[in-house]
Amino acid sequence: MESVATFMGMELDYDLADRICCNNHRYAEPSGYHTSPEVDFYAKLDPNVEHVFYDSVCGIPLFIAPRGRSFDDFVAESMDHGWPSFRPDEIVSENVIIHFGGRMESTCLTHLGHNLPEEGIDRYCIDLVCIAGVPPGERRLSVSSPSSSSDSSVVTGNNDVASNIGVKSESPFNVTSYESSTETSSSKYPKTKESLSVF
């Protein structure tokens, strides 16, 4: 999805997104990529709303955050671990597959990251470039330059997404009423963080 390059006005590396999300099952974007000066991810988020993060390849909703915790807690955990970190309450369970060994991908088969539990509760360590998408109906025909101050393709804090692609329900995906069916511990995770490799 071309809009990954200008997601929320950030300068995301499209080639990195292509390698990590589409041609990879093992590697991750560099640790701390989400906090680099050209990205500055958390400064772009409104701390007063839940944000929906979409698959950067096919546009299905994957995570809603922060949910069940404060924005500051979401940011602190993500900063501590080096990648955006999500919890079971924040996953759109119908759209994400957690494989044995902890590797995670969307139902579109986009690589997302890995499950690295903390204190017995699943924690999803996710590559920003793989969740920097927009719903298919929100795609723009042309992409503005990364330096553009406005990015009309971004949909965050939206309470009703018209497209229900990938979501197994009869009605459109509704952020406000959605509840994840994910267990707090899937028992599907790598034994150590060292099992991950970074590009």
Q: Is residue 42 part of a domain?
A: yes
Q: Is residue 119 part of a domain?
A: yes
Q: Identify the band that residue 29 occupies on the pLDDT scale cut at 50, 70 and 90.
A: very high
pLDDT tens digit sequence for 164-177: 344 443 346 677 77
In percent, how much of the chain has pLDDT > 90? Answer: 52
Residue 137 pLDDT: 72
Q: Is residue 143 part of a domain?
A: no
| Cα distance between the two ends of the chain | 21
Residue 92 has a CB neighbour count (10 Å cut-off) of 25
Residue 17 has a CB neighbour count (10 Å cut-off) of 24
Amino acid in position 8: M
Q: Identify the band that residue 190 occupies on the pLDDT scale cut at 50, 70 and 90.
A: low
Q: Is residue 105 part of a domain?
A: yes
Q: Is residue 71 part of a domain?
A: yes
Least trusted range by pLDDT, from 21-25, 90-94, 129-133, 185-189: 185-189
Q: Which domain holds residue 109?
A: 2-138+149-198
Q: Is residue 44 part of a domain?
A: yes
More confident residue, 129 or 26: 129
The string over 21-59, giving b where at least 16 C-beta atoms fall within 10 Å of a residue's C-beta and e elsewhere, is beeeeeebbbeebbbeeebebbeebeeeebbbbbbbbbb
Residue 103 pLDDT: 93
Q: How many domains does the chain have?
A: 1
Residue 146 pLDDT: 36
Q: Is residue 174 part of a domain?
A: yes
Q: Is residue 144 part of a domain?
A: no
